[in-house]
Amino acid sequence: MKQFTVDDQTSKVRRVTFASPPFNLIGADTVAELLDIVDRLSGEEQVSVVIFDSATPGYFFNHVDSDQIPAIADMAGSGPLPGFVELGMRLAAAPFVSIASIRGRTRGGGAEYTAAFDLRYASREQAIFCQPEVGFGLVPGAGGTERLTHLLGRDRALEVLLTGQDYDADRAAQYGWVTRAIPDAELDDFVNAVARRIASFDKQAITAVKTQVNRSTLPPEENLLASFVESARATTGPGVEARRRAVGKLIAQIGMDDLERNLGHHLESLAEQP
């Protein structure tokens, strides 16, 4: 079943909409489909801008489905990077400008991919950001540590990665996690206007500017691979299974919907589960 739809907004602008209700969790099929879409749009010479959004209320790009971790880890890429990691690199290096129109929760692997977009505009009322991996005894593996350190600086990246807290759009904008926080009622018009304006310019100039910026901002391939190796190693750590059992007990107490909606709040309580 397809999780993404691609719509032509203009001859130069496309919109890619993610819908995998109820929580927009990321699985191996999600990664594979999005890789195909990025490749296809990269091959369309007329496409200058691609907007990414979500049709699932309350969620943008959410974290990886824990049941899918082995399948995702085994996904091969076109080169030395695993497919899960290569997706973020392809998003960042694509020959079009990618714009995230963010409504809802953006966490874990989804937040790592979101950080790879060129521009990120977040609903002030609805967007929430979180890197919760440490709360599960895990480590981000799709480039989040590298990209967040560049965007936020070392100390704020460490705060985000080590506390696993939820951050609202205003704080995310203050930290540099997103380009701007926009009132929800204005988000669609704002993103569409930015997309149309960029697309009105010469694509050769657009891609040349992006190439120059990428040269000084994209993490080296060897760093991304090293992060993935650390992430894979963490999945067999001594605390992971205990945390998995704690998550099951917590879900039995509060329900899956409450856990997903308030994940940052509930992370600390995982250590308190008997």
Catalytic positions, written as ranges = 112, 133
Relative to beta strand 105-107, strand 180-182 is unpaired
* CB atoms closer than 10 angstroms to residue 102: 30
- CA–CA separation, 145 and 226 (whole Å): 11
- CA–CA separation, 254 and 134 (whole Å): 21
Q: Where are any strands of DSSP class E within the chain?
A: 4-8, 13-18, 49-54, 97-102, 105-107, 119-123, 128-130, 167-168, 180-182
Determine what percent of the chain falls in helix, strand and coil, rounding each to the nearest 5.
55, 15, 30
Specify burial of residue 145 (Cβ count, 10 A radius: 0-12, 13-18, 19+). Answer: buried
- CA–CA separation, 96 and 207 (whole Å): 7
Six token digits for residue 116 = 């790879």
